[in-house]
């Protein structure tokens, strides 16, 4: 199994993906807390980013406390305020308001120092255009600005305009070879309005695509293959994205050969690629 669609459900603060097939390098949890409640975790062999999607929380990582992290009403209301924790760190999230927090993890086994990624530290790249039905903005929480402070974990939030494609032109990153790196990936969707929907295509070289309808709260994890997505007209989409490299952090995407001419027609492709380095 190289890919899996996980439908929206109440995960009761338990991991949705926890380092098993098809994405053995990735950990992903959604934690919902009422004001005053706490959630604690300690992950051996995983570095993590703690990203409030809504509300504020105090986050303690071992002996270091980060106060009033977050503050968005939801993912459509501003840039993320986040905290990074190294592997085997004792992490406690205490809600100051009712809050929802994403925990994004990648396999890593070296000690790392915790730090905060303030909204002004988030690095944005604008890709595509509405004319080419490909406009999306990618906000890197853990991107190349944090390259020297993390292991192999990349975390970003992607916002696609209504009726537009992302992950396009189709590309893959499943093999360490010239012009490509091996990275596993996870997408978690939200739509505006929440009744929205989209499409996730996934296919291996030479195969016919598998098509999944994506809805608010769905998650897709994969370790191989091409993986373009789209959102329907009238519905903007948000994708919380986790990438973890098998042998290196810097991501090199291999665009499907028959669609490479599109790279020159879609603005910002080169800038997008540079932000993942």
pLDDT for 132? 96
Low-confidence ranges of the chain (pLDDT < 70): none
- State the CB neighbour count (10 A cutoff) for residue 78: 13
End-to-end CA separation in angstroms for the chain: 28
Give the closest residue to 85 by CA, choosing from 115, 56, 53, 106: 115
| 169 phi and psi angles, rounded to 5 deg | -60, 155
The per-residue pLDDT for 54 is 98
* Domain 14-275, CATH: 2.60.120.10
CA 274, 18, 159, 94 torsion-angle sign: negative
* Distance, CA of 206 to CA of 208 (rounded, Å): 7
pTM for this predicted structure: 0.98
**Residue ranges per domain, the chain?**
14-275
Residues, the chain, total? 277
Listed in sequence order, the residues at least 6 apart from 253 whose beta carbon sits closer than 8 Å to its beta carbon are: 171, 172, 173, 180, 273, 276
Q: How far apart are CA 166 and CA 200, in angstroms?
A: 10
pLDDT for residue 277: 73
What pLDDT score was predicted for residue 49?
98
Alpha helices in the chain (DSSP H): 269-275
Distance set, CA 209 to CA 157, 158, 170 (Å) = 25, 23, 11
């Amino acid at each position: 199994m190289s890919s899996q669609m996980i439908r929206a459900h109440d995960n009761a603060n338990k991991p949705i993906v926890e380092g098993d097939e098809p994405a053995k390098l990735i950990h992903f949890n959604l934690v919902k807390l009422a004001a005053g409640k706490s959630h604690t975790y300690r992950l051996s062999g995983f570095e993590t980013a703690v990203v409030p999607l809504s509300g504020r929380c105090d986050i303690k990582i071992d002996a270091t406390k980060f106060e009033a992290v977050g503050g968005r009403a939801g993912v459509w209301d501003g840039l993320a305020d986040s905290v990074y924790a190294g592997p085997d760190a004792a992490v406690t999230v205490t809600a100051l308001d009712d809050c929802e927090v994403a925990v994004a993890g990648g396999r890593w086994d070296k000690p790392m120092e915790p730090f905060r990624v303030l909204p002004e530290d988030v690095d944005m790249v604008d890709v595509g255009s509405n004319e080419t039905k490909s406009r999306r903005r990618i906000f890197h929480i853990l991107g190349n600005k944090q390259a020297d402070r993390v292991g192999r974990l990349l975390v970003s939030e992607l916002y696609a305009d209504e009726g537009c494609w992302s992950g396009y032109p189709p590309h893959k990153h499943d093999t360490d070879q010239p012009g490509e790196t091996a990275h596993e990936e996870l997408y978690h969707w939200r739509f505006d309005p929440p009744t929205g929907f989209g499409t996730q295509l996934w296919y291996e070289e030479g195969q016919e695509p598998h098509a999944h309808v994506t809805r608010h709260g769905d998650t897709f994890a994969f370790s191989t293959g091409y993986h373009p997505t789209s959102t329907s007209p009238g519905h903007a989409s948000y994708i919380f994205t986790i990438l973890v490299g098998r042998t290196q952090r810097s991501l090199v995407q291999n665009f499907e050969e028959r669609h490479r001419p599109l790279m020159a027609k879609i603005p910002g492709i080169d800038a997008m690629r540079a932000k993942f380095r």
